[in-house]
Amino acid sequence: MRMEYQQFSPRNTFLNPSSCAGTTTVSRSSDRAVALGSVGARAPGVATGLGISDLYASPIFQARSGSAHGYDVTDPTSLNPELGTEADFDALVQGLKAHGMGLLLDMVPNHMAASPENPWWVDLLENGPASPYSEFFDVDWKPAAGMFENQLVLPILEKPYHEVLESGELGLSLDEVGLNVRYYDYRLPLEVKSCGFVLTYTVAFIKSKGGIEPPYLGQLQGIIAATQNLPPYDATGPQDIQARRQPAQQIKQQLLDLASNTPEVSQLLDHTLAILSGKSGELSSFNNLHRLLSRQPYRLHYWKTGRDQLNYRRFFDIAELGGVRVEDPQVFEETHSLALRLAKEGKVNGLRLDHVDGLYDPIEYLHRLQDALPTGSTASGQNFYVVVEKILFHDESLPPEWPIAGTTG
């Protein structure tokens, strides 16, 4: 039995058949290997005889490491490996079907994690308006006040920027992905043209030592020249973006290969990055780091004041959750590809949509979703089972034109 109004418990509940009359709830478990691997075998046994038709699962898409709820999605095109593999998911579905049960899946169309673990967000930080994902997130690159044009405001600092800078809490490093800024657990990519800024100091240091020029000097100078030929990240014409995208990836890979294959280059880069990171107690030593940071597509801010200057939509006032533009057909297709595939394969029988009121045009979204689902056809009235999270006030009714089965409160 499905009900049009159901209360779900989205946190820390492994199996809770009493959470509603018609649906069993499954969410995060302290034993993550159990979450998908054996629920299909255990849930039906509890559900037998209770009239339960479906198992409800909080979001199972890849989320931030250790997420206790799954609403901070980092990749909606992949299952969360902490919960299991696709084979585990298939075993869950088969176990449910063997007992005549379906799966009601929770998903979050409104936002994603604004996190270094989100590859789309990282690309946005590295390439700004020139990123292919700049249209995925709801960013105002040209604020009315003219402040921070073409820079994404990140309110992640625990103290005012100048205090963090001069205390040496910000540092530069090179890892397996590329050059980046480190701030405690945060890893922020450096815009690719910044490689040239860094390597200029490395080359100057090599030349200052005199003697025979090492064979890798020419390679470093070649990378510098390549960065100078790249269009800037705020050049957003189609030709500029195309002229930047592939060469930027090649530049990053050339630097990584050179550092990996030449120990002397790796040591020289470590030396350069340490110098550019500055030295606590020597204020002038942070000038170059400040210059470098000012050239990035993002701007670091103190969390208490930066939130007033945010230029991207988020989930309420949670800066760690960035709004997604699902009203754009390409964004809808990318962010819903896995959920739609699972529905079309008959592995998901219903959807619960989180925070539908946050969407730009809820009714347009719901119709597009129904038209993309296997039995969805808003013209014929044959709708896929969809419920939404929407809190109704005492004098408010659910819009009758919404093609859904009801709300979850």
pLDDT above 90: percentage of residues in the chain: 70
Structure confidence at residue 372 (pLDDT)? 95
Which pLDDT belongs to residue 42?
A: 63
Distance CA 340, CA 348 (A): 9
CA atoms within 13 A on the CB side of 67: 25
| 250 vs 178: CA distance, rounded Å | 12
Among the residue ranges 172-181, 271-280, 328-337, 371-380, the one predicted with the least confidence is 371-380
Q: Which CATH superfamily is domain 119-315 in?
A: Maltooligosyl trehalose synthase, domain 2 (3.30.1590.10)
Summarize the confidence of residues 274-296 as an average pLDDT.
95
Mean pLDDT of 110-116: 94
Alpha-carbon separation of residue 86 from 37, 61, 97, 250, 400 (angstroms): 10, 11, 16, 33, 37
pLDDT of residue 288: 96
**pLDDT greater than 90 at residue 12:** no
Kindly give the pairing relationship between strand 179-183 and strand 406-407: unpaired
Would you state the pLDDT for residue 145?
Answer: 67
In this prediction, residue 11 carries a pLDDT of 27
Q: Which residue has the higher pLDDT, 20 or 295?
A: 295
Residue environment code for 41-67, b if the CB has 16+ CB neighbours within 10 A, otherwise e: eebbeebeeeebbbbbbbbbbbbbeeb
pLDDT tens digits, one per residue of 319-352: 899 999 999 999 999 999 999 999 999 999 999 9
Top-tier CATH class for 23-110+324-407: alpha beta
User: Phi/psi at 62 (nearest 5 deg)?
Assistant: -60, 130
Which of 103-117, 157-171, 219-233, 366-380 is least confident? Answer: 366-380
- Could you tell me the pTM of the whole model? 0.87
Q: Which of 57, 58, 41, 47 is nearest to 22 (CA)?
A: 47
Q: Given this chain, do its domains 23-110+324-407 and 119-315 carry the same CATH topology?
A: no
What does the pLDDT look like over 47-68, one tens digit per residue?
Answer: 656 778 888 899 999 999 999 8
Say what the pLDDT of residue 33 is: 41
**Residue 24 pLDDT greater than 60, yes or no:** no
Q: For the chain, what are the domain ranges?
A: 23-110+324-407, 119-315
d(CA 325, CA 179): 29
